[in-house]
Amino acid sequence: MEEFVNIFLMGKKYTVPSNLTIMGAMEYAGYQLVRGCGCRSGFCGACAIIYRIKGERDLKVCLACQTQVENNMYIATLPFFPLIKEIYDINEIRPTEQIMMQLYPEIYSCIGCNACTKSCTQGLNVMQYIAYAQRGEYEKCAEESFDCVMCGVCSSRCPAGISHPQVALLARRLTGKYLAPKSEHLEDRVREIENGDFEELLEGLMQKPIEELKELYNNRDIEE
Amino acid sequence: MYTQEMLDSVKKVEATRKERLGMEPRRMTAEEKETLLNRYHPDYRQENFSVLKIGPNKGDKVPDELAVLLQANSRVKDLDIDLTKIDYDTDVLIIGGGGAGASAAIEADEAGAKVMMVTKLRIGDANTMMAEGGIQAADKENDSPAIHYLDALGGGHYANDPKLLHKLVTEGPSAVKWLNDLGVMFDKAADGTMITTHGGGTSRKRMHAAKDYSGAEIMRVLRDEVINRGIPVVDFTSAVELILDEEGRAAGAVLMNMETGEYLVARAKTVIIATGGAGRLHYQGFPTSNHYGATADGLILGYRVGAELVYADTIQYHPTGVAFPEQIFGALVTEKVRSLGAMLVNADGEAFMHPLETRDVCAASIIRECKDRKKGVSTVEGSGVWLDTPMIDMIHGEGTIENRLPGMFRMYEKYDIDMRKIPILVYPTLHYQNGGLKINQEGLTDVENLYAAGEVVGGIHGRNRLMGNSLLDIIVFGRNAGKNAAKKSKTIKPGKLTLSHVEKFAKEMEDAGIKTDCVSPKLLPKYTHRKDE
């Protein structure tokens, strides 16, 4: 037998099957979603939710597509949050300590309240990665923030007005481009291809009849 | 979380694990694969396909749900759109906000064209964001573009367009380099060597990844770059009909604000369709791993102005969609889980196949195991087989799952399933549109000045795509379309705008006796549940 729970979407009560996600429950209630719905798999950050269970003091956060409804859930959606996104040329900037100071100086106003970490829908240690960014430790910031889906809930809770996801994104791009070790085999292969080194092989393959290609494919050796 | 039946079956999986750890299941022969596909792959179920009555692919079969939309009414059919009132004027108009669209935008901007992106949701709400496993490129010593070519060709059942495939494999390494230079964080060893793994059907380890956030990492960097360049992104706005000029060349699109319903006119010298796939059409009732907006819009837009489709009857069912818990039914379990050593195991604990066969073979084999051999495990939605994830940490050491599959680990953790310790249940999910708009090497469709890139395109992957070739395809062909559309735009003088093809198409429908209330493109799926419907 199907069980039902009461939920409150933006304060309005709906009775929905208890096995649904919050997103599924909104649709069950009749919402045709346009905002607040993206990948439906927990990767895009479109469906951030802030909720409170009636009678409890804690404010909780989650992604609507990844979380099952509970009875007496008071649900507010956060389909958009005005993050600060500074413009920069990735080829011009460098992974110096000053670059954060120039682009996102508000990170130095962090008061250490940890509201960001408590509100992360991905369970990341947000305050820690901001601390790394303050110190110019971009690789650590990148690693700590890697699973960020940029939903913006952390920033909505921040008394210092920090746009944590954008700070983290900058740190990751600096890491990927400048700090991570160079892949020489990749650069070599790009040069070889530009040099036309594989053209003869490829042209040869392209001209072979299908039967011969099948033979080659079915008997190719596969790396262990 | 698991039912008693599931837990009993888990015991059988555990009982055979030690023995399975040391062995590699036999790969199927070409004949075995063919027989399997014919009997069990959804593409071979003729009763779920319709023959098109009109348009460039008249006489061809496509999935029923797609046929309805391809032969439906235009959204602007009875509207009086004033094409002299131009709301947006640009050189290159890009429809779609995923990886292909963003790559195209960056390259078109780089080439000096005035570019605009329009997307019905937000930039990045796209299948790119959800591509977990990785991106192929033949950049290792023991590999070459020729080996990559043969892998993709065999996997695609020799139906790939050779020229497009040549482009894909030869531009693979430079695509990865381009992304790396933009700041994408690929998994690397301390000396800079890319950490690469196998995917189903690869003969070399050439799958590059960014943990299991590969597509998300690529997408958020591309999106950031689009914004840094000041490229206008008109979001929550869909293209509902292409606009041509009096010579029949693409010249813009009618747009619709998704929130207010307002119609707007965008004029452009060249247009790139980068609208992605069709999973949300739920062919044959399958669940899907696709994002919310994957409703085949680009196929509809292109088809109505005369662009031909290729292999529109071939769909990829990803072998490992979530079968349980029901809340995330159909969501993707990345192939990387199998790349890292997890086996596919039936209810009795038997490894019934090699886990790294191509996706179509794998999906068909799982369907056979559940439907025919009755060796699936029952779930609310049907049945599934085990993906024996605890093998991963046993093979590669503790912490591997958390480090290299953090997204998967988190997804299951939310339902109290610890995939490090207990296997997970999977069943095929609708994942990818192998076919789509036909393009040439320049990314041009049959219609002049109309380009296409990404999942909306067909031909590159033949009749089945390999893992990691889609992230590659959107970058290679997205950039390609952007460059070529920008170059072409410099030679174009805007002509008089027209929607006359809409009337022409309506006439064709009438002549073919097609009567329908359906309008297309679909734009969004409908999951509402109301008493009045």
ipTM confidence score? 0.97
Give residue B380's pLDDT.
Answer: 87
Mean pLDDT of B79-86: 96
Confidence at B529, pLDDT banded by 50, 70, 90: confident
Residue B1 pLDDT grade (very low, low, confident, very high; cuts 50, 70, 90): confident
Q: Report CA-CA distances (Å) from A181 to A169, A171, B201.
A: 19, 15, 30
Is B75 one of the catalytic residues? no
**What residue of A is the nearest CA neighbor of B28?**
A218
Q: Give the closest of A31, A38, A223 to B205, CB-based.
A: A223
Percent of chain B with pLDDT over 70: 99
Q: What average pLDDT does range A166-179 have in this prediction?
A: 98
Give me the pLDDT at residue B381, please. 86
Torsion of CA B519, B523, B524, B525, to 10 degrees: 40
Query: Cα(B375)–Cα(B321) distance, rounded to whole angstroms?
Result: 17
Tokens of B113: 């064209």
Mutation for testing the A interface, residue in B527, B530, B533 having most A CBs under 10 Å: B527
Q: Which residues of B touch A194 (CB under 8 A)?
A: 174
Per the CB < 8 A criterion, the answer to whether B180 and A183 are in contact is yes
Structure tokens that stand for B56 in this block: 């460039």
Tokens representing residue B475 in the block: 């970058």
pLDDT of residue A1: 54
> A88 in contact with B at a CB cutoff of 8 Å?
yes
Q: What integer pLDDT is reported at residue B445 of this predicted model? A: 98
Backbone angles phi, psi at B305, to 5 degrees: -100, 10
Helix (H, G, I), strand (E, B) or coil at B344: strand
The reply to whether B318 belongs to the active site is yes
Mean pLDDT of B98-106: 98
For residue A148, give the 3-state DSSP assignment.
coil
Report d(CA B188, CA B318) in Å as an integer.
27
d(C-alpha B304, C-alpha B327), whole Å:
37
- b vs e for B440-451, b when ≥16 Cβ sit within 10 Å of the residue's Cβ? eeebbbbbbbbb
- N-to-C CA span, chain B: 34
Which among A25, A66, A6 is positioned nearest to A42, based on CA atoms? A66
Cβ-based neighbours of B182, under 8 Å, separated by 6 or more: A90, A173, A176, A177, B221, B222, B225
Confidence of residue A44 (pLDDT cuts 50, 70, 90): very high
Q: Report the pLDDT value the prediction gives residue A224, as an integer from 0 to 100.
A: 86
Nearest-CB residue to B173 (from A122, A176, A186): A186
Predicted pLDDT of residue B451: 98
A-chain CB neighbours of B414 within 8 Å are: 66-67
pLDDT at B533: 56
Please name the helix (run of DSSP H) or strand (run of DSSP E) that holds residue B384, with its range, or none. strand B382-387
Contacts of B130 in chain A (CB under 8 A): 39, 41, 43-44
The C-alpha of A158 sits at a distance from chain B's nearest C-alpha, in angstroms, of 22
Task: Say which of B157, B304, B338, B420 is annotated catalytic.
Answer: B338
The alpha carbon of residue B438 and the mean position of all alpha carbons in its chain are separated, in whole angstroms, by 16
Q: How many residues does chain A have?
A: 224
Closest-CA residue of chain B to A167: B224
Amino acid present at B66: L
User: What angle do helix axes A164-174 and A126-134 make, rounded to 10 degrees?
Assistant: 60
Helices (H) and strands (E) in chain B, counts: 17, 23
* Residue pairs between chains A and B whose CB atoms are closer than 8 Å: 223
What is the rounded CA–CA span in Å between residue A146 and residue B213?
A: 8
Paired residues of B317 in beta bridges: B430
| Mean of per-residue pLDDT scores for chain B | 96
Averaged pLDDT, B85-97:
98
Q: How far apart are CA B205 and CA B147, in angstroms?
A: 11
Residues A117 and A123: their CA atoms lie apart, in Å, by 7
Q: What is the pLDDT of residue B532?
A: 63
Contact call for B194 and A186, based on CB within 8 A: yes
**Maximum separation of any 2 CA atoms in chain B, in Å:** 73
Query: Is there a contact between A80 and A44 (Cβ–Cβ < 8 Å)?
Result: no
In eight-state DSSP terms, residue B470 is H
**pLDDT score recorded for residue B53:** 98
CA A150 to chain centre: 5
DSSP secondary structure string for all residues of B176-242 = HHHHHHHT----B-TTSPBPEE--TT-SS--EE-STT-HHHHHHHHHHHHHHHTT--EE-SEEEEEE
Q: Does A32 touch chain B (CB under 8 A)?
A: yes
Catalytic residue, chosen from B198, B206, B318, B463, is: B318
Structure tokens at B156: 């695609």
Query: pLDDT tens-digit profile of B234-281?
Result: 999 999 999 999 999 999 999 999 999 999 999 999 999 999 999 999
pLDDT of B531 > 70? The answer is no
Looking at chain A, the number of H-run helices and the number of E-run strands are: 10, 5
Q: What are residue B288's DSSP bridge partners? A: B430
Express as a percent the part of chain B with pLDDT over 90.
97
Q: How many CB atoms lie within 10 A of CB B195?
A: 14
Q: What is the pLDDT of residue B148?
A: 98
Do B167 and B476 touch, CB atoms closer than 8 A? yes
